[in-house]
Amino acid sequence: MSDAQIRTGKCNCGAVSFRTRGPLREVVACHCSQCRRQSGLYFAATNVADERIEIEGAANITWYQASEFARRGFCATCGSALFWKHQADPHISVLAGAFDQPTGLTLTKHIFCADKGDFYQIADGLPQYAKGSAGLRVAD
C-alpha cells in the first residue's frame, strides 16, 4: 500500500471521525477480558502511526485509563469504541469496524485467547496466542 492511501471512519453517530494516511498494521482480534467487557465479544483492531491519523471531533472522545499502560477511547455521545492507545507506543490502535468500507484490511491472528469468552469458538484457522504475540505491544 502506498503512503498516499487514505482511509476514513467514524463512530456510530458521527460526532468523532478520523482519516488515516499510509500503511496500517494487519487486523488483530483481542479476546482479553477488558476487550470482551467493553465490546461484548472481542476487539478487532489495526493500528497507525500517531502522525498518520487526523481525528475530527476529538472533544467528543472520552478516554478511559484501562491500565497503567494503556487507555481506551470511545465516543462520549453514542458510546462507540474507537481507539486503544499504549502510552509507550507511537501508534494508536483503531477498531476495524469503525472504518468506512471497503477497508482493504485483513484479520491475521487472535491474541489473549486464554481469556476468550466461553460462549464462542475461534474457528477461522488463524493463529491463536494465549497472550500477546511477538512484536505486538499489549498492556500487561
Question: How do residues 33-78 score in pLDDT, each as one tens digit?
Answer: 999 999 999 999 999 999 999 999 999 999 999 999 999 999 999 9
Question: Is 121 within a domain?
Answer: no
pTM: 0.91
Kindly report the CATH number assigned to the domain that includes residue 13: 2.170.150.70
Residues 6+ apart with CB under 8 A from 23: 1, 3, 5
Block residue for cell numbers 491500565: 67
Question: Is 135 within a domain?
Answer: no
Structural domain count, the chain: 1
Question: How do residues 75-124 score in pLDDT, each as one tens digit?
Answer: 999 999 999 999 999 999 999 999 999 999 999 999 999 999 999 999 99
Domain containing 106: what range? 6-115
Question: Is 136 within a domain?
Answer: no
Question: Is 104 within a domain?
Answer: yes
Question: Is 110 within a domain?
Answer: yes
Question: Is 127 within a domain?
Answer: no
Phi-psi region of 104 (alpha: psi -120 to 50; beta: other; left: phi over 0): left
Question: Is 130 within a domain?
Answer: no
